[in-house]
Amino acid sequence: MVFTSTRDSGIDLISFKDAILNPNAPYGGLYTLSHIPKLTQDDIAKLSNLDYKELCKSIFDKLGLDIDSSILEESLLTYDSFDTKIPAPIKKIENNFYIQKLYCGPTRAFKDMALQPFSTMFSSFIKNTNQKYLILVATSGDTGPATLSGFANKSNIQVVCIYPKNGTSDVQRLQMTTIAAKNIKTIGINGNFDDAQSLLKSLLKDSNFQNELKANSISLSAANSVNFGRIAFQIIYHAYSSLEMYKKYNKQINIIVPSGNFGNALGAFYAKLMGFPIHTIYIASNKNNILTEFINTGIYDISNKSLQKTFSPAMDILKSSNVERMLFALFGDTRTKELMQELETNKKYQVNSDELKMIQKYFQATFCDDEFCLKTIKKYADNGIIIDPHTACGIKAYEKIQQDSNVIPTILCSTAEWTKFAPTLAKALHIDSTHDKESLEKISKTYNINVPKQIVELFQKEEVNNKTLNSNEVMNEILSWIRS
């Protein structure tokens, strides 16, 4: 029993399994680790000799997650469907600078790293029960496809994916709307990702909605990173990269994380807290730079901000929900609840100077605009390296590191394959194209780079699951669907 609520650590602790199946914590909080173990140098030496799957097993054991070994083994087998032998391979770009490719899974984005094993684990947890589940997910473009891919045709599980209409690339939309599995429903909403995420959170807390589900013998869960099952698997690739670099350089590394909702960065934060050789975690944002402002000033203020659409849409987020877990780990439940209530009431909060210094012991942050993003994509393409817009934002953080020091090895988390944002790349590369399919074909030909089969096939499929609604219509739509 190792999980508690970020807003009330006095509650009875629950297990990892219960936190996955029922992620709605008391007082509107999030379930999180009540204790984070500290590794010794001997632990680091032993862990550095393990392969990726064995490392995951060992870290889960040290975290006390208490998962049946056969369930974990089955979950990790999902990595065998990835394109590479190592699920998150590391590629050298130049001296002391590496990219970790987190997009080798079936939907070509880093969300596969967690959601492929997570979906199998969730299904295994309920396999020998008669319980049915409705899983909700909100997406800015990558979480949705990865969730639907993982849960499609799983027994006793229905999934509803909510995404902002016109807020994703064509490829991301097609990855959701062309899935014909009967247990899957995709709903576009008139709004942005923050609206989708707020809708998800309100549904998770809505007693009338939950009562309707109970009347149909259905329990409610979520696949967004409000569910710690996602975060647990995201710790592993940061631990893995730090150990690989430690073996090479015998020193701590910097990790750059293009970040909107902070879940990916949180995985690196937990790895650092455990004692893995991580020096600083750099947050890279786009013009929606709420995280950069917070880490640099201690002020989280969305009271006078509106979401801006950018060429790196997965980071078009203002409400970064996983910051709450970081606040709990550093300052405890009372302070976290106080800050979160300020955010809910006033749409802003501010940590004090000592708290800010504590946060800055772990994080630094920067951001870039769309112009920098496009120029960076072109610059790297001219040198034979094709990157997506989010990875390009991460380059801004690398430039900041170079100004400070060039001796600390740095890994940039490349969170998506270029194929998911082909029109943006075409614009950056001065290729005349108006839509995803044409952009993919022209970039592939110009740069002699393959487009994965699963991306090509999307344009041959019918969009069978593409309803669009206003937010206030979604609950009734879901209830009608589960009754049918």
Same domain, 218 and 239: no
Residue 350 lies in a domain: yes
CA distance 218 to 57: 31
Same domain, 215 and 317: no
Exposure on the CB side of residue 175, measured as CA atoms within 13 A = 31
Question: Which residues lie below 8 Å from residue 97, measured CB to CB, with a gap of 6+?
Answer: 398, 409, 410, 412
DSSP state of 227: S
How far is the CA of 50 from the CAs of 176, 190, 243, 255, in angstroms? Answer: 35, 47, 10, 21
Identify the bridge partners of residue 99 per DSSP, sorted by sequence position: 91, 412
pLDDT at 168: 86
Same domain, 237 and 154: no
CA distance 176 to 425: 22
Exposure on the CB side of residue 126, measured as CA atoms within 13 A = 24
Q: How far apart are the first and last CA of the chain?
A: 38
pLDDT at 406: 63
pLDDT at 405: 61
Same domain, 253 and 295: yes
Could you read off the pLDDT tens digit of each residue along the chain, which spans 484 residues? 799 999 988 888 999 999 999 988 888 899 999 999 999 999 999 999 999 999 999 999 999 999 999 999 999 999 999 999 999 999 999 989 999 999 999 999 999 999 999 999 999 999 988 889 999 999 888 889 999 999 999 999 999 999 998 888 899 999 999 999 999 999 999 988 889 888 988 998 888 999 999 999 999 998 888 899 999 999 999 999 999 999 999 999 999 999 988 999 999 999 999 999 999 999 999 999 999 999 999 999 999 999 898 999 889 888 898 999 999 999 999 999 999 999 999 999 999 999 999 999 999 999 999 999 999 999 999 999 999 999 999 999 999 888 876 679 999 999 999 999 999 999 999 999 978 999 999 999 999 999 999 999 999 999 999 899 999 999 999 999 998 8
Same domain, 406 and 279: yes
Residue 336 lies in a domain: yes
- Nearest Cα residue to 368 out of 400, 341, 325: 400
Same domain, 150 and 218: yes
Residue 251 lies in a domain: yes
| DSSP secondary structure letters along 209-223 | HHHHHHHTTEEEEE-
Same domain, 163 and 253: no
CATH number (domain holding residue 375): 3.40.50.1100
CA distance 357 to 180: 50
Chain centre distance of CA 247: 27
Same domain, 234 and 216: no
CA distance 472 to 212: 16
Chain centre distance of CA 187: 20
Residue 432 lies in a domain: no
- On whether the CB atoms of residues 276 and 239 are closer than 8 A, the answer is yes
Same domain, 130 and 260: no
Residue in this structure with the two tokens 């605009």, named with its chain if needed: 369
**Radius of gyration for the alpha carbons in the chain, expressed in angstroms and rounded:** 21
- Phi/psi of residue 458, nearest 5 degrees: -60, -35
The residue among 364, 390, 417 that closes a domain is: 417
Same domain, 187 and 210: yes
What is the number of domains present in the chain? Answer: 2
Identify the bridge partners of residue 70 per DSSP, sorted by sequence position: none
State the residue range of the domain holding 158.
110-224+461-484
The residue among 363, 387, 417 that closes a domain is: 417
CA distance 107 to 96: 29
Same domain, 238 and 382: yes
pLDDT at 224: 83
- On whether the CB atoms of residues 12 and 25 are closer than 8 A, the answer is no
The residue among 383, 399, 417 that closes a domain is: 417
Same domain, 311 and 386: yes
pLDDT at 81: 94
How far is the CA of 362 from the CAs of 191, 266, 269, in angstroms? Answer: 34, 11, 7
pLDDT at 261: 85
Which of helix, strand or coil describes residue 251? Answer: coil
Residue 480 lies in a domain: yes
Which of helix, strand or coil describes residue 329? Answer: helix
Residue 469 lies in a domain: yes
Residue 429 lies in a domain: no
pLDDT at 413: 98
Statement: the pTM of the whole predicted model exceeds 0.75: yes
pLDDT at 317: 87
- On whether the CB atoms of residues 29 and 5 are closer than 8 A, the answer is yes
- On whether the CB atoms of residues 189 and 162 are closer than 8 A, the answer is yes
* Helix, strand, coil distribution of the chain in percent, nearest 5: 50, 15, 35
Residue 211 lies in a domain: yes
